[in-house]
Amino acid sequence: MSKKCALILAAGEGRRMKTSKPKVLAEVLFKPMIDWVTDAVKEGGVDEICVVTGHCYEELEAHLGGKYKTVVQQELLGTGHAVMQAKEFIKANTPGNILIINGDAPLIDAKTISTAFEYHESHKNAVTIISAKIDNPFGYGRVVRNKDKCLKKIVEENDATNAEKMINEVNSGAYWFNCSVLLEALEGIVEMHDKKQQAEYYLTDAVEVILEKNLNAVAYEAGNPDAVLGANDRAQLQLLNEIARKKVMREHLLNGVSIPCADGVMISPNVKIGNETEILPGTIIKGDTVIGENCVIGPNSFIENSVVGNGVTLNNTQCYSSTVKDNTSIGPFARVRPDCVIGEGVKAGNFVEFKNANIGDRTSVSHLTYIGDADFGSDINVGCGCATVNYNGKEKNRTKVDDHAFIGCSTYLVAPVSVGKNSYTAAGSVITEDVPDNALAIARSRQTIKKDWISKKKPYKWQK
């Protein structure tokens, strides 16, 4: 099979999106549209990608991180003009075929790209346009066919006659071109632009240019009509989010994940969830999160870039860039900030916050506690209202608590400090010195009782 390359058009300003960022960085399920497109293109078997950037190109190029070739379109003069900026890239891939694809149509899938290519190559087409019939074709270029159903042209919404506007087969903005035909067609696009006195250079005019040369220009209908949908404004972006959200949830449901009520549930495309795990309403799971089997996640939990074991409960919990091991229960109303490793069988209750902390197996932190920059061992009991005092105004220091320790209620552990194995801290202690193993540390003033103290005072009216 011949080498395949792709040119992604991503220079557009996104005026209709009303954004100051490059439009293709708008997100669908928390993943920028451009990343959906590059992923699908690579999975569709393309060897080399070039991206046309333009509006806020520095921001887009920073996002792409040097992974692909880029060319800058200085003036945004339309999709045809965008392709002209990449002539060198197209020449370098001649002879061969090139996929030209919009960066603002994130639901395109690898299968549509690869099956369209097989069709394109086996029929030796000059261009194969990926099209689909959709319910609401407003705003898209319509695929106009002649009486014998062959492709005649693509007409944009603004140029379409009323009869053409009735056509519901639309151009996806993704096409397989023979590279040498495309290079020649670019000249034809300039002529068309001048002749029709259009404001922009339309890539879609390549169809008429190619047909005039008696070459094969064909519209190939995608099996998956959602694949062609693009987002020019935020209403369309929400529609794409909804389609992608339902699709991702359906895959998890069919894999044995329970989502009894999908209200407010959003799961990013790269998330992995094990069998018989239940996701409850209001839960957002983002990034490269992996969740094991038999967990209950939610209601109202937010999990990002984390690894969660089997049998874990995360109830009304936020968890970022951390690991939570098997059979641990966290929440309600708890927060696991980045760089934590929470061990197996840990219990963390309401209003507990962890940050950059290691918590050993079976340790219990039930209520109202902050543990930051700390290494806690296993089988520790932390009472209510404790805190690691990790910041002295200049630097962060670590706290170490060894296995089987018992941290009394309202203990403050002023770091750097350690508590030894089996040791206790008395409730209300402010621990500023290391506690050895098997000890009790009391760091508060002794209680004093002043007998009949009240009789010496002038009584208040409610005292008898």
Residues of this chain that interact with ligand UD1 (CB under 6 A) are 9-12, 23-24, 52, 54, 73, 76-79, 81-82, 102-105, 140-141, 154, 156, 170-173, 202-204, 230, 232
- Residue 144 interacts, among Ca ion, ligand UD1, none and using kind-specific CB cut-offs from 5 to 8 Å, with none
Torsion of CA 150, 151, 153, 154, to 10 degrees: 140
Kindly list the residues in this chain that would bind Ca ion in the complex (CB under 5 A): 104, 230, 232
C-alpha 8, offset from chain centre: 20
- Among ligand UD1, Ca ion, none, the one that 140 touches (CB under a kind-dependent 5 to 8 A) is ligand UD1
Report the nearest approach of ligand UD1 to the CB of residue 101 (Å).
Answer: 9
* Closest CB 397 distance from ligand UD1, rounded Å: 50
- How many Å apart are CA 192 and CA 201, to the nearest integer? 8
Residue closer to ligand UD1 by CB (options 229, 352) is 229
Nearest distance in Å: CB 14, Ca ion: 9
Q: Which is nearer to ligand UD1, 202 or 412 (CB)?
A: 202
Of 175 and 320, nearer to ligand UD1 (C-beta) is 175
What count of other Cβ atoms lies within 10 Å of the Cβ of residue 459? 9
> What is d(CA 365, CA 359) in angstroms, rounded to the nearest whole number?
10
Contacts with 138 (C-beta within 8 Å, 6 or more apart), sequence order: 157
Answer with the entry of Ca ion, ligand UD1, none that 203 interacts with (C-beta below 5 to 8 A by kind).
ligand UD1
Least gap, CB of 181 to ligand UD1 (angstroms):
17
The residue at minimum Cβ distance from ligand UD1 is 141
Distance set, CA 443 to CA 228, 325, 365, 433, 440 (Å)? 68, 34, 21, 10, 10
**Catalytic residue list:** 367
CA separation for the pair 73, 96 (Å, rounded): 24
Please state, in angstroms and rounded to a whole number, the distance separating the CA atoms of residues 24 and 60. 8
CB 393, min distance to Ca ion, A = 52
Q: Which does 141 bind (CB under 5 to 8 A by kind): Ca ion, ligand UD1, none?
A: ligand UD1
- Sign of CA pseudo-dihedral 13, 68, 139, 179: positive
Q: Which two tokens stand for residue 180?
A: 């040498």
Closest CA to 405 of 388, 385, 382: 382
| Number of other residues whose CB lies within 10 A of the CB of residue 455 | 8
276 binds, among Ca ion, ligand UD1, none (CB under 5 to 8 A by kind): none
Q: Nearer Cβ to Ca ion, position 157 or 379?
A: 157
Output 230 or 349, the one with its CB closest to Ca ion: 230
